[in-house]
């Protein structure tokens, strides 16, 4: 009798281990659903993860979830930590769930949940990004598009040079621009995001290229403000030529705006000339100050 009980216990334990990746994925997706404002993700070595003492805090998600799931995740103040120990199993579970959701007649909600989890683990999967585009294109929803920008910002916080994420972010902005004439606030937030990423990720060509891509959506005042605000940043990061390319794009945009607008006055033409002359004087000053740099 005791032998049968022991065998039954072993079988239950083995069955639980087989379902562990699926349970981890469900737990991971529940965390993302419960806290849509997560803005930072960290993948920690098990020794680092243990120092968080997540079992005692119990702040990852529902207390009713099994302990063996909670021991791999920690979430507080919109910051999420995942133990690197379970990343391979979690990735494979997320990938399988996505493929099943894509090929089966499941709800779009499930498809979005699975792709979100999968892209956080591996943001280079273009098919997953395209699946999200397909769902978002079916019906315009500004709230969902804002959530999509939040997801992109989350991924860029730990993978700031991921081209797939930057490309998807531009697609989302295009969708918003087709429906909204006033892009002032959105473009301002984009500029702040790129500036923060550029501070953490030096020589990030993709981030600055995204900022250049935003220029046609800017008002004249925003272009002038961007030109003024980038002056100090360029002086502090003279070796990062990305910002100088950005300033060139801003100056060219002001010229294009002038020649494309017949209502511009002579005073505005004079202002543009002064801007270009001031830029040349400023460049000359930087060249003399930082000899050997490609200003």
pLDDT tens-place string over residues 78-113: 999 999 999 999 999 999 999 988 876 667 888 999
Q: Could you tell me if 178 and 120 lie in one domain?
A: no
d(CA 178, CA 254): 23
Examine the pLDDT at 17 and tell me if it is beyond 50. no
Q: Could you tell me if 123 and 186 lie in one domain?
A: no
Residue 286 domain flag: yes
Residue 248 domain flag: yes
pTM of the predicted structure, to 2 decimals: 0.84
Domain boundary among 138, 156, 176: 138
Q: Could you tell me if 220 and 289 lie in one domain?
A: yes
Residue 175 domain flag: yes
Mean pLDDT, the chain, as a whole number?
A: 84
Q: Could you tell me if 213 and 110 lie in one domain?
A: no
The label of the residue with tokens 């550029």 reads: 198
Q: Answer positive or negative: Cα dihedral of 89, 95, 98, 104.
A: negative
Residue 105 domain flag: yes
Instruction: Place 292 in a pLDDT band, splitting at 50, 70 and 90.
Output: confident
Q: Could you tell me if 289 and 173 lie in one domain?
A: yes
Q: Could you tell me if 76 and 186 lie in one domain?
A: no
Q: What share of the chain is helix, strand, coil (3-state, %, to 5)?
A: 75, 5, 25
Output the pLDDT for position 108.
85
Structural domain boundaries, residue 209: 168-295
C-alpha separations of 106 from 37, 109, 132, 138 in Å: 26, 8, 14, 15
Give the ranges where 63-218 is alpha helix by DSSP (H): 67-70, 87-103, 108-121, 126-138, 142-158, 163-179, 184-200, 205-213
Number of structural domains in the chain: 2
Contacts of 141 (CB under 8 A, 6+ apart): none
Examine the pLDDT at 13 and tell me if it is beyond 50. no
Residue 121 domain flag: yes
Between 3 and 257, name the one with better pLDDT: 257
């Amino acid at each position: 009798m005791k032998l049968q009980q022991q065998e039954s216990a072993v079988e239950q334990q083995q069955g639980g281990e087989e379902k562990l990746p699926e349970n981890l994925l469900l737990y991971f997706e529940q965390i993302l659903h419960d806290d849509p404002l997560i803005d930072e993700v960290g993948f920690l070595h098990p020794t680092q993860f243990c120092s968080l003492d997540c079992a005692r805090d119990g702040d990852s998600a529902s207390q009713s979830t099994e302990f063996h799931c909670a021991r791999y995740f920690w979430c507080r103040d919109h910051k999420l930590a995942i133990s690197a120990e379970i990343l391979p199993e979690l990735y494979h579970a997320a990938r399988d769930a996505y493929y099943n959701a894509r090929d089966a007649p499941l709800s779009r909600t499930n498809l979005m949940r699975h792709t979100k989890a999968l892209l956080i683990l591996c943001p280079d999967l273009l098919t997953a990004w395209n699946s999200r585009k397909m769902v978002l294109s079916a019906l315009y929803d500004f709230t969902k598009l804002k959530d999509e920008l939040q997801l992109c910002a989350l991924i860029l916080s730990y993978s700031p040079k991921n081209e797939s994420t930057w490309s998807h972010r531009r697609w989302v902005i295009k969708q918003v621009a087709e429906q909204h004439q006033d892009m002032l606030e959105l473009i301002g937030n984009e500029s702040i995001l790129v500036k923060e990423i550029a501070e953490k990720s030096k020589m990030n060509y993709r981030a600055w290229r995204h900022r250049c891509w935003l220029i046609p959506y800017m008002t004249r005042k925003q272009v002038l403000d961007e030109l003024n605000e980038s002056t100090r940043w360029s002086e502090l990061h003279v070796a990062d030529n990305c910002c100088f390319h950005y300033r060139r794009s801003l100056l060219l945009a002001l010229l294009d705006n002038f020649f494309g607008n017949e209502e511009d006055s002579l005073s505005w033409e004079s202002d543009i000339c002064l801007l270009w002359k001031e830029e040349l004087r400023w460049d000359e000053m930087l060249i003399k100050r930082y000899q050997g740099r490609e200003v």
